[in-house]
Chain A
Amino acid sequence: MIEVEELSIRFGAATAIREATFTIQPGDRIGVVGESGCGKSMLALSLIGMTPEAARVTGSIRLEGEELAGAPDRLWRRHRARRVSMIFQEPMAALNPLKRIGETVMEPLLVHEGLTRAAARARVLSLFEEVGLPGGRLRQFPHEISGGQRQRVLIALALACNPALLIADEPTTALDATIALRITELLVRLAEERRMALLFISHDLAAIARATRDVMVVYGGDIIERGPTASVLADPAHPYTRGLIAARPRAAASPRGPGERRPRLPTIVGAVPPLAALPAGCRFSGRCPVELPVCAGQRPEAVARTGGGGAICHRLGAESLTA
């Protein structure tokens, strides 16, 4: 359905995404995980034609066969909402505070689908039901409903024109834990019921684990590892993925006596470098605990990982990571 090939996004000399290749099929639930500044949001925006003007997009993005990489906004507008739709982290910022939420969701149905008001209203009611919003909420304003309900409104809005792909960029990050859980469950159910593809972007490994079947780990603009979510999380192949999973605090504690030292969390040394200062070879070199002399200068090849997918790392294939 969507074929992305050697997609690069550059800002002047800085590379936000480097030669990304992947496909999305109907019903896929794909996670994109990585830390701030790794390029995951830029990747998402490129799939809906909303990269900033300064960005230079090269390579190929084919949406149902139509080439859209670097296409003018006028072409993208034909597909947005109808083929590809997106929801964002901050639902309040994405809603017009002066508009009743029912009106907001009705708008694309009137504009894109050319429905009558009565037909659009009926469709909004069924969308509200689908995302778990009481129909009585139609006439309320965004400030009158909770954060979780606002995110449900945005999901209803994104679904209004039956998109084939829904991109969710940190959809649960601003929500309370229990609400986040419900929203994640809702997105999974909708993807399954509608056979809609879901691209779920998050820095939260727990949310990725719940929402997705496959995952791409992004670091420094490279997809450094990919594969079935369960196997990548259980048995990460790339040192960055390993570091990320190890650094995650666990909801488990052992009692500590007086004067006893609490175990420290494993960390990844340093910080994500600015895009312009990324190493030319493996993006993770300089921070990698198992770096080889070749890593900084030469870009590693993809190596298939056990459990499906693959990782780009010079250590893989050459010798075992754990050695």
Chain B
Amino acid sequence: MTTPLLSVGNVTRRYRLARTSFHAPRPVLTAVSDASFTLDRSRTLGVVGESGSGKSTLARMVMAFERPDEGRVLFEGQDLAQLAPSALRRLRQRFQMVFQDPYGSLDPRRTVANSIAEPLRAIGAGDHAAKVAQALDQVGLRAGDGEKYPHEFSGGQRQRIAIARAIVTRPALLVADEAVSALDVSVQAQILNLLMDLQDELGLAILFISHDLAVVGSLCDDIIVMKDGHIVEAGPASKVLSAPSRAYTKTLLQAAEI
């Protein structure tokens, strides 16, 4: 059996909250509790849950922005928490992230090409111009768009720019945290199709985080449903959507259906 691209094993992440009284110990919030899953190349895993369910914390651990208190995140078999900072920096080109609000994640004073080249600079890669031009082309923007600034683009186009920045280092894994939630229906469909095209073209694995089961259903092979830090349901998308075992998943489904 080959090593999965991403293997998350029994991860738990706790936060210490502010003291509520001088004498009491600081309360502890368990944001993610004993979560495990794997993700292979060219596959999409949807993580569904509401705010506070722990899905974004899970994403940040996969991105090595945070370390799990327990358990391991293995990327291509390497434990991210055990890597030296320099090795982690080099490995970062292999996994990239796209956020919900493209306007908030793009520097308004930088040209689009400059923003897209950012991850290349971070890893000290050469030949920026050619790679940026290729990334722009892959997300359906024109080469000339690189000279413009973020405010000159619509919300959907800005999300394309954010995706171009994420794929410019040729990652194997893309983590998308509510990447289409802020978009209108017709634009959302365009961006979802773009993600599918990029997956076919580049063999990307996608960890797709969303509160919307309908969006997840259109894109994902497998789904995990999170509630209060726990994975409450997991399985192939077709099974979770057609025969949800948990009442909570059923409510989410009801919310997504006309």
Contact = CB atoms under 8 A, between A and B. Distances in A.
B252 A178 contact: yes
Which has the most chain B C-beta neighbours within 10 Å: A233, A248, A265, A267?
A265
Interface string B37-69: 000001000000011000000000000000000
Residues of A contacting B: mostly = loop
B236 A268 contact: no
A247 B185 contact: yes
A253 interface: yes
Interface in B50-97: 50-51
A250 B252 contact: no
Interface in A156-178: 176-178
Contacts of A244: 185-186
Contacts of B106: none
Nearest to A172: B255
Interface string B167-189: 00000000000000000111111
Nearest to A264: B193
A206 B256 contact: yes
Contacts of A271: 154, 156-157, 187
Interface residues of A, number: 36
B251 interface: yes
A206 B220 contact: no
A180 B220 CA distance: 24
Given A206-B258, A258-B42, A252 B189 contact: no
A20 interface: no
Contacts of B196: 262, 264
A251 B221 contact: no
Given A247-B188, A249-B218, A209 B258 contact: yes
A178 B216 CA distance: 16
A178 B156 CA distance: 26
A180 B51 CA distance: 13
Given A177-B50, A261-B200, A250 B188 contact: no
B256 A176 contact: no
A252 B217 contact: yes
Given A248-B214, A255-B236, A265-B218, A177 B256 contact: yes
Interface string B220-258: 110000000000000011100110000010011111111
Given A181-B254, A209-B258, A249 B217 contact: yes
Interface string A263-282: 01111100110000000000
B215 interface: yes
Contact of A233 (B238, B248, B258): B258
Interface in B175-213: 184-190, 192-193, 196, 200, 211-213
B79 to A, nearest CB: 27
B219 interface: yes
A267 B218 contact: no
A228 interface: no
Nearest to A204: B185
A251 B50 contact: no
Nearest to B51: A176
Contacts of B193: 264-265, 267
A35 interface: yes
30 contacts: A177-B213, A177-B252, A178-B252, A178-B255, A179-B50, A180-B255, A181-B254, A205-B258, A206-B255, A244-B185, A248-B189, A249-B192, A249-B219, A250-B214, A251-B217, A251-B241, A251-B257, A252-B242, A253-B238, A253-B241, A255-B221, A255-B236, A255-B237, A258-B42, A264-B196, A265-B189, A265-B193, A267-B193, A268-B189, A271-B157
Given A252-B241, A253-B218, 9 more contacts: A35-B186, A177-B252, A181-B254, A206-B256, A206-B258, A249-B189, A253-B220, A255-B238, A265-B189
Interface of A: 35-36, 176-181, 203, 205-206, 209, 233, 243-244, 247-256, 258-259, 261-262, 264-268, 271-272
